[in-house]
Every structure is written in structure tokens, then in C-alpha cells.
Amino acid sequence: MNNDLRFSALKKTPFHSRTSLASRTNKWYAWNGFTVPTEYSTIELEYTAARNGTSVMDLTPMGKYEITGGDAHHFVDYLVTRDLSEMKDNTVAYIIWCNEDGKVIDDGTIFKYSSNKFMLCCAVKIYNWLNDSAIGFNVEIKDVTDTIAALSLQGPTSCSTLKNYGANDLETLAPFEMKQFTINGYEVLISRTGFTGDLGYEIWTDPENAKSAWDSIFEAGKQLKIRPFGMHALEMTRIEAGFIQTNTDFMAAEDALRPVRMRSPYEIGMGWLVHFKKKNYFIGKKALKLEKENSTTERCLVGLDIDGDKPAHGSVIYNEKKEDIGIVTAAMWSPTMKRNIALASLRRPYGIKIKDNIFAEIYHPEEIEYRKIWAKCKVVKRQFYNPERRNKVPADLYE
Amino acid sequence: MSEKKYDAIIIGGGHNGLVCANILAKKNKKVLVCEARENCGGMVNHEIINYVPSIPNSVSQSIGGLNLKYNSKSTIALSESGKHIRLIGNQHLDHATIAKFSTQDADRYLEFHDKMSQFSKALGKFMLDSPPRIMNNSFSDYAKLFKLGLNVRMLGKKRFNEFARMIGLNIADELEDNFESTLLQGLIAHDSVLGSNLGPRSPGSLINLLYRMAVHGYSLFGGIYEMDGGSETFISALLDKCSKNNVEIKTSAVVKQCLIEDDMAVGVELNNGEKFFAKTVVSNADPRSTYLCLLGAQNLDTDVKRKINHHRSKGRVAKLSLQLNKMPEFNDCDDTDLNSRMVISPSIDYIEENFNPSKFDKLSSEPVLEICLKKDSNNNSSLDIQVQYAPYKVNGGWENIKNDYVNSIVKIISKYSSNIESCIENKTFITPDDIEQNYHVSGGHWHHGEIQIDQLFMLRPIPGAAQYKTHLDGLYLCGAGAHPGGGMHGISGKNAAKVVLGDL
């Protein structure tokens, strides 16, 4: 995660009094200028909450930008590669955006309130990028990171928890929809979104309601296996879901020092988000079109199913001639699927045309020394975990 | 796809646009020129310019020869004491001319001129052709760049080192190292900063002089002319060619935007809603207007918008025209002197002090002036005066200060001409702001953008847009904002035509 503010004092999120109380390990990290827990108790327990109960994560440090004005809809359509021209009010869309060379800057979500008002959420700070991109558009961009408190509730019982908390009829909310609620006398926006690949919601409210919301939610989820959830457990769930993480699976184009590290959407499995046919021009279109027409895409990001049970953290990937063909960007042993999985950036045609006979060189730590394992891998769909309940409407409810 | 009636539509009937139109039309291309004003010619207008260089042969030949007559202009640097410096024609290169006031300066001047002339020639060969594009790995582009390097290296080791020393230098340092006469220093410094946003002590002011010399026959004071019948004769000659070559011209046709289909420029839409379609669109408008208005910020990548926003194009020259009812007398000047280019710029410090307030959008009480006596066909005389360092926008607004400012200019002139005030019949004053409004040039800059190392050659007007192509396929630049830059020479128009022909 972006750590660029490490020399200034870290801010506390509006949930800090609650998260610090919940933290048993005192493990924190800096995210966008805030301090938030990496883990509260043990990663395994937190991961299990996300898969079997309700996990609660403090999302406040997420970069949040309000985009308002007459050209707001045109502007967000221009900003991202995806066609958002038909986007409906009160919906959310997953997006990526590129620079002029067609290299990905970041991914995130865009929330549409109305044609004149949007909110963009992403992991890193992009205020300057938004502002410079807005030249020539009638829009105002405001960094609202500090003025909106956010929590992510993920897991099979998350809908029930939020219903108990006061979100009536929440089960009818479809994935990527959002709805405004008044709960306990204050306004809460709830969107059916998340980063774990499971049923889940994100809630957004004024920082002054933060403590009360945290307390009410934990009270509401008492019988539903609710547990606070840190960054490390999130890393596990997002790998299983096949979601990409900026500056982990690829370098953000604005951060990369080496131009060869920049990646186009096609190189990180996001080609499906590039819509050349949309009416408006979008940033990077010219470069992306050239890349597509000339088939100059060099790499790909794939899922790997690896023999054995030792996670292939940072492994180099080889072909059968022992030539280096890529690298693992994220790896784990998946407790839910009982599979040794990884995301890997490979040099094409490996991963696209050649999916077999590739190998990972794993260095498995065994008390100071490493054991070297030569493990056979198979290229598979990046989305390892995709339960039916994730997209089910109405959502599953539990007593 | 809409029907494309024309091969090329040229936005703006300034001289570069007309040169470009003629070259295309001579190759049997169907060309339409859309000019926003009532008449073609743009800033080639006595309202804007005083003196011109001779039109390069390569340009006039490319449109089948132009029959233009020039009169060489001498330069006189006025001194309050009456000890003016007179540089008549190319006599400034005679040792005796400058030895009259300093033998030391005369020696130094010849050496200085020789050096500067060589440097401007080394750059000049490069200036007359399309600049190379470095990123596209083409052999001819590398060869071109190599040739520039070679040109400079062929100056010899000593000169090469000197070139490297001087390329980013300010002109004041160089002049003070060489000359003792502050008036001579002031005169050369004047010509170095004329039309730019720099003071003599600003880094990079020397390259402005090299550019000026490159388009004025590689000479400091020898390549300055007045055109028989005024500079508008050039435009009439171009328009004659246009009618011979069947170039269609629409005047009072303000282009609202460039029409885009499938990420290609396919035509233009006028303010009145009329649409014209063509295979290519060539913009003679300044880069900022071309990108942000014609092409549209909504069709540009962020980085391109950042670059065009950084493009420096604020003008600093105003023009005062004094209509005369009788001939003024200048102290210690005869009739020949009156017909010279008269410069009031007594020293480097005078210019620099004048430049300082303009940095804060304020006016100086003692502006730098270049004065030119003009007679029209009815024998009415006027003094046309370039006023250097009149900010583009002034604190408090031009309207409120204009009159006081004009009076202060007249007061300066009266130090050199005691009867000037009694000779004035009428005054007209044009600020950079007016140039922006009346001539559709953003910033009102003579050169459509500063002549500076970061805005020259393959970086002109912005990186990625060099070689007359813009970021939109099918849209080209042919104006002063493109390589090599402003001034009345038509090189950008000629080079752009070559690029367009290559793509058509």
C-alpha cells in the first residue's frame, strides 16, 4: 500500500478509539496518511470471519473524491476506459484508468449519485491527476477522504448483520447498487461492493457517527460471527477472489520509475474494461488502440494452480527449458479451496497460448534456512473463489 | 462517414496558412481557407509589425516565386546626449562605424558578430527544415539530429565550447563582457528580447537573438527591411497566388471546433453552424487555441493538457501608432535618421528595470521603444512604435491605465524630440490583450509562444506535437507556434505543407 506520507504524523481514523481497543497485536501500518491495523488477533481468525461470518474493516483511508458539476458524467466517462455513459443513478462501477501511454494508473470504484455528482474511491491519492484531467470540463473535484468514514462488512452474514443494525430490506440491494438509509437518526450510504469476492457491503457516513455506527454494528452482529478484519486477511481474500492490487500486482503508471514496469490493461487482465466503442474519447484511448491493433501486448496476469502446499511468494516462473518467463506477484495457500494458488505476471505467449509445463521456483522458509522447491504450475482462471451467494438477490439471511 | 469535399481545410488565413494553402493547391489539392477576420493576413499587418526580414527563397520558390521589393533599413540607437549610434545597412560590419565611438568596441563587435552569425547559421540550417522526431526511431530523424550535432561540432573545438557556454546564457553577461558602450549594449539587448517574455538578464535571452539572426539573414542589423508598399504587399501577393491556384477562401468565418470522427479530424464547424469536411485539417491558429478550443480539452489525454497548459505564450509587446500632422524633429537627427529604425533603449539596466514591473503585471513608466516612421499612399505620416514589456493583462485592467501609459510613452519620446507633442493628430494603441481579441491569438504573443530552448525544435510547441502533427490524426499545425517559430517568413507554413502532402 502507498506509504508516501511516512514522514508526517499519521492521522487517526474516526474509528480509531474502537480499532485500537480491538487490536490484540498492536500491529499497524500507514495507509494514505492514516494508521490502521494490519491484524487485530490472528490472520486465520479474521480470514475465517470473512468467509463464514462478517468481517469489519476500517476503509476510511481509502482515497475518496467527490466529482460534481454539469460535466461530471462526461468527465468520469472520459477519465476511465470503461463505457460509463449508460451508468444509472445509485449504482457503483468497477473502473481502471490509464495515462496517455495507455498504462494503468490505478483501479477503483465509482459511485453515481446523479449525473451531476459522483464519488471515486481508490487506494492511492490521485487528486492532482483528477484535477489536471479536469481541464476543459465543468466539474469541481473535492478530496473527501477525511470527511467520510467508511467500513467494509464482508461475509455470508454481512447482510443479516446490517439488517439487524437497521438497514431495512437490504437483501434486495443487487451487487453494485447503493442506497441511502437513515439509521439511529443519521444518514448512512450502503453499497453492495467489496474486495473479498463474497457477499459484502461498504458503508459510508459522516465521521461524527463513526463510533456509534461501529458499536451498533458489532452489537448487531454479535450472534453472526462478527470480527474486525485487518489488511493481511484482506490480502488473502482478495487473492482468492482474483482481484488485483496496485503496486503489488503491477506498478501504478504514475509511480513506476522504470517505464518497462508500467502495464496496460491487457497486461493485467483488465482488457474487458476497455471500451473503444464508447462515444466519448477517454484518456489513453489512442495508445490502447495502437496496442490492440498492433498486438504489442507483452505480458499477462494469470492465476496459477501450483503443486504442493508451499506458497510461492515472489517466485520466478520458468518454462520447461528453465527460461525465466515471469514472476509471482501474490501467492497463498487457500484454506477454503485447499489449493496452492498465486497470481503471476507472465511474458506472452506464456499464460495465453502456453498454459502447461511451467514451473515455479519456491523458496520455502524453514527456520532461518530455505528449502528450494521446483513446483509444477497450471494456468487457471484468476477468479479462484466465486461463491453463488456473492451475486444472489435477495441476499442470504441468517438468524 | 461524411462526404469530404476538400483535401485540406486551413484554419486561419495568416501568411503561414496562405503559404501552406498555395503549396497544397499547386499539387492539385482542393483547399479551403477559413479566416476569422474580414481580411486575410493575420498579424502581418502594420497594426502589429514594423519591419520584416526578407522572405526566404525556399518559401517563395515553393509557391512559384513572389515579386517583392525590399528597402534595407538602418538602425539608430538614440541617446539623450545626441551621440546616437548609427548602423547603416551592412555598414555595421565596417570597423569605422563603431570605432567612431569606441575602437575597442569596434574590434569586439566584429568578433562578436562573426561568432553569433556562425552560431545562428549552424542552427539556421536546422531551422529551415522540419524538426526531427526523436521517439519514432526513424533513420532520417536521427540523421537530421546528427547533422545538427555535426553542424555545431564543425564549428571547431573552441567555437563548440563557446556555443555550449552561450546556449543557455543571458545576453547581458555576454554584452557586458564584450562592450564598453552602454548604448551599444542596450541596442543589442533590445533586439535580443524584442517580442519575448525575458529581460536581458533572464537566462536564455541569448537564444532569442540567435533565432532572430537566423531569420534575418544571419545578421544582427543587416537583415532588416521594409517592404515596398508595406508588409501587406506580401499578403496580396499570396492572395493572388491563391486565386491562381483555386484556393477557396472564406473570410469572417470563425471556426468553432474541429470535427472528429473515429479519432480522426474530418472537418470544421463554423460559429454559424456551417460544416465543411476534408481529408485533413491544418491549423494556423496558435497551439493553445488549437488544442483547447478547436480540438477540445475533452478529446485530449491529461498529459497533453498539462503540456499545453505549461506552454508559455503571453505577449509583452504593445503597439502605439501616432498619426502626425507635421514631421517631428529628433535631436541631432537628419531625414535619413528619421527613416531608420529608431530604438530607445539606452542601456541594459534600462531594459531590465523596465522588464521588472511587467513580471508583476504592472507597467513601467519608461518603456523600451522601437520607432518607425511610415507614410501611407495619401502621404499621411505616422510613427509606429513597438512598446516592449506591456503585460498581457495589467493589474487594474488595461482600459483604466491605457491613456496614462500612452502619455508616458509620448513623454519618453519628447526627451529625444522636443516638438513631438505638437505633431500628434491622433493616437491608437493596441495591447497584447487587444491582439488576443482582434487577431484570435491566445496571449497576444507575436510568436504564438515563447522562443525558448524548451519550446524550440522538436519541442515546439509541446513534446509529442512536433513535426507539424498534433495529437489528433488528420489535424496539423502550420503556424508560428510550430517549428521554427514566429516572424514573417512562412517557413512553418511551407514545412507543414510538405508533411500534409506526405500524408494525403
Separation CA B396–CA B211 (nearest Å) = 34
Residues in A 168-207 with any Cβ partner in B closer than 8 A:
none
The mean pLDDT of B219-229, rounded to a whole number, is 87
Q: Does A390 touch chain B (CB under 8 A)?
A: no
Q: What angle do CA A306, A311, A316 make, to 5 degrees?
A: 70
* Chain A environment of B302 (Cβ under 8 Å): 99-100, 129, 132-133, 135, 283
pLDDT above 80 for B302: yes
Residues A183 and A316 in one domain: no
Q: How many domains does chain A have?
A: 2
Q: Are A136 and B296 inside 8 Å of each other by CB? A: yes
Give the ipTM: 0.86
- Average pLDDT for residues B437-453, to the nearest whole number? 90
- The reply to whether A114 falls in a domain is no
Residue B287 near residue B448, CB atoms below 8 Å: yes
pLDDT > 70 fraction of chain A, expressed in percent and rounded: 98
Antiparallel, parallel or unpaired: β B264-270 and A369-380: unpaired
Count of CB atoms situated within 10 Å of the CB of B149: 12
Residues in chain A within 8 Å Cβ distance of B304: 100
Q: How far is A290 from chain B (nearest CA, A)?
A: 12
Contacts of B85 (CB under 8 A, 6+ apart): B76, B77, B79, B98, B101, B181, B183, B184, B187
Grid coordinates representing B155? 564549428
Q: Kindly indicate the confidence band of residue A1, based on its pLDDT and cuts at 50, 70 and 90.
A: very low
Is A132 in contact with B301 (Cβ distance < 8 A)?
Answer: no
Query: Based on the domain organization, do A56 and A167 belong to the same domain?
Result: yes
Q: Which residue has the cell 489535424?
A: B475
Q: In CATH, what number is assigned to the domain containing residue A359?
A: 2.40.30.110
Q: pLDDT of A119-137, one tens digit each?
A: 999 987 899 999 999 999 9
- Structural domain of A51: 11-60+148-229
CB < 8 Å to A78, chain B: 298
- Whether residues A40 and A184 fall in one domain: yes
Residue B121 near residue B113, CB atoms below 8 Å: no
Q: Which helix (H) or strand (E) holds B110?
A: helix B103-127
Same domain for A56 and A161, yes or no, is: yes
pLDDT at position B140 over 80: no
Query: pLDDT per residue over A182-204, tens digit each?
Result: 999 999 999 999 999 999 999 99
CA distance B453 to B428: 35
Does A346 fall in a domain? yes
DSSP B91: G
Q: Identify whether A247 is part of a domain.
A: no
- Are B33 and B18 contacting, i.e. CB atoms less than 8 angstroms apart? yes
What is the spatial distance between Cα B365 and Cα A91, in angstroms, rounded to a whole number? 62
Helices (H), strands (E): how many in chain B? 18, 16
* Domain end marker among A172, A199, A229: A229
Higher-pLDDT residue of A323 and B226 is A323
**Is the pLDDT reported for residue B1 higher than 80?**
no
Quote the pLDDT of residue B136.
Answer: 61
Band of pLDDT at residue B92, cut at 50, 70 and 90: confident
Q: At what angle do helices A158-165 and A210-220 cross, to 10 degrees?
A: 120
A281/B303 CB distance under 8 A: no
Q: Is residue A155 part of a domain?
A: yes
A33 and A180 together in one domain: yes
Question: Which residues of chain B lie closer than 8 angstroms to A100, CB-CB?
Answer: 301-304
Residue A276 contacts B, CB cutoff 8 Å: no
User: A358-366 and A226-228 as β-strands: parallel, antiparallel, unpaired?
Assistant: unpaired
Q: Using the predicted structure, report yes or no on whether residue B134 has a pLDDT greater than 70.
A: no
A295 part of a folded domain:
yes
- Structural contact between residues A136 and A78, judged by C-beta atoms closer than 8 angstroms: no
> Using CB atoms, which residue from B263, B296, B302 is nearest to A283?
B302
A202 and A313 assigned to the same domain:
no
Q: Across residues A239-251, what is the average pLDDT?
A: 94
From the list A74, A100, A129, which residue is nearest B304 (CB)?
A100
Q: Is A304 found in the same domain as A211?
A: no
Burial B315-333 (b: 16+ CB within 10 A, else e): bbbbbbbbbbeeebebeeb
Q: Please answer yes or no on whether A137 and B299 come within 8 Å at the CB atom.
A: no
Task: List beta partners, residue A29.
Answer: A36
- Let me know: does B314 contact B445? Beta carbons within 8 Å: yes
Q: How far apart are CA B124 and CA B484, in angstroms?
A: 9
Does A229 lie at the interface with B, CB-CB under 8 angstroms?
no
C-beta atoms surrounding A357 within 10 Å: 13
Identify the band that residue A7 occupies on the pLDDT scale cut at 50, 70 and 90. Answer: low
Confidence class for position B451, pLDDT limits 50, 70, 90: confident
- Which residues, numbered 58 to 117 in chain A, qualify as contacts with chain B under a Cβ-Cβ cut-off of 8 Å? 74, 78, 99-100
Which chain A residue is nearest to residue B464, measuring alpha carbons?
A100
The verdict on a CB contact (< 8 Å) between A74 and B306 is no
Integer Cα distance of B358 and B361 in angstroms: 5
- The segment with the largest mean pLDDT, out of B141-155, B269-283, B449-463, is B269-283
Residue B137: predicted pLDDT: 64
CA distances from A90 to A87, A173, A180, B363, B462 (A): 9, 11, 9, 55, 41
pLDDT at residue B37 tops 70: yes
- Identify which of B482, B395, B384, B377 has the alpha carbon closest to the alpha carbon of residue B433: B395
- B294 → chain A, closest CA residue: A136
Q: Inform me whether the C-beta atom of residue A136 falls under 8 Å from chain B C-beta atoms.
A: yes
Q: How far is CA A270 from the centre of its chain?
A: 13
In chain B, residues with a C-beta closer than 8 Å to the C-beta of A85 are none
Q: Which residue in this structure is represented by grid cell 538602418?
A: B74
Nearest to B298 among A99, A100, A136 (CB): A136
For residues A209-236, give the mean pLDDT: 96
How far apart are the CA of A360 and the nearest CA of chain B, in angstroms? 37
More confidently predicted of A119 and B224 = A119
CA angle in degrees (0–180, nearest 5) for A307-A312-A315? 120
In A, minimum Cα distance to B309 occurs at A135
Question: For A251-261, what is the mean pLDDT?
Answer: 90
Indicate which of B292, B295, B301, B311 best probes the interface with A, i.e. most A CBs within 10 Å of its own CB.
B301
Length of chain B: 504
Cα separation, A276 vs A279, in Å, equals: 8
Residues A223 and A272 in one domain: no
The dihedral through the CA atoms of A27, A31, A34, A36 has a sign that is: negative
CATH topology of domain B6-68+229-311+448-503: FAD/NAD(P)-binding domain (3.50.50)
Q: How far is CA A107 from the centre of its chain?
A: 8
Burial status of residue B403 (CB atoms within 10 A of its CB: 0-12, 13-18, 19 or more): exposed
Contacts A76 to B, Cβ<8 Å: none
Q: Identify the domain boundary among A204, A229, A254.
A: A229
Please say if the pLDDT value at position A279 is more than 70: yes
Using one digit for the tens of pLDDT, what is the confidence trace for A375-387?
999 999 999 999 9
Lowest mean pLDDT segment, chosen from A20-24, A380-384, B81-85, B473-477: B81-85
Beta-strand ranges (E) seen in B228-327 are 248-250, 255-261, 264-270, 275-283, 317-324
Q: Do A274 and A217 fall within a single domain?
A: no
Whole-angstrom distance, CA of residue B434 vs CA of residue B43: 12
Are A107 and A242 a contacting pair, CB within 8 Å? Answer: no
Q: CB–CB of A186/A205 below 8 Å?
A: yes
**In-domain check, residue A121:** no
Q: What is the mean pLDDT of residues B325-331?
A: 92
pLDDT score recorded for residue A326: 96
CB A360, CB A329: distance < 8 Å: no
φ, ψ for residue A45, nearest 5 deg? -65, -40
Same domain, A288 and A361: yes
Per 3-state DSSP, chain B is made up of helix, strand and coil in percentages (nearest 5) of: 40, 20, 40
Q: Is the pLDDT of residue B35 over 50?
A: yes
Is A100–B301 a contact, with Cβ atoms under 8 angstroms apart? Answer: yes
**Residue of B316, B326, B257, B324 whose CA lies nearest to B285:** B257
HEC profile for chain A?
Answer: CCCCCCCCCCEECCCHHHHHHHCCCCEEEEECCEEEEEECCCHHHHHHHHHHCEEEEECCCCEEEEEECCCHHHHHHHHCCCCCCCCCCCEEEEEEEECCCCCEEEEEEEEEEECCEEEEEECCCCHHHHHHHCCCCCCEEEECHHHCEEEEEECCCHHHHHHHHCCCCHHHCCCCEEEEEEECCEEEEEECCCCCCCCEEEEEECHHHHHHHHHHHHHHCCCCCEEECCHHHHHHHHHHHCCCCECCCEECCCCCCCHHHECCHHHHCCHHHCCCCCCCCCCCHHHHHHHHHHCCCCEEEEEEEECCCCCCCCCEEEECCCCEEEEEEEEEEECCCCEEEEEEEEECCECCCECCCEEEEEEEEECCEEEEEEEEEEEECCCCCCCHHHCCCCCCCCC
β-pairing verdict for A178-183 and A104-114? unpaired
The B-side interface with A (CB below 8 A) comprises 263, 292, 296-306, 309, 471
More confident residue, A141 or B466: A141
A286 touches chain B (CB under 8 A): yes
Mean pLDDT of B141-163: 80
A348 and A278 fall within a common domain: yes
Q: Give chain A's mean pLDDT.
A: 94
Lowest mean pLDDT among A51-55, A215-219, B327-331: B327-331
Which chain B residue shows the shortest CA-CA distance from A285? B301
Using the predicted structure, report yes or no on whether residue B281 has a pLDDT greater than 70.
Answer: yes
Domain boundaries, chain B: 6-68+229-311+448-503, 107-224, 317-439
Q: Are A298 and A362 within one domain? A: yes
What backbone phi and psi angles, to 5 degrees, belong to B36? -70, -35
Q: What average pLDDT does range B192-208 have in this prediction?
A: 92
Q: Which of A41-55, B174-188, B206-220, B293-307 has the lowest mean pLDDT?
A: B206-220
| Residue A92 to residue A79: CA distance in whole angstroms | 15
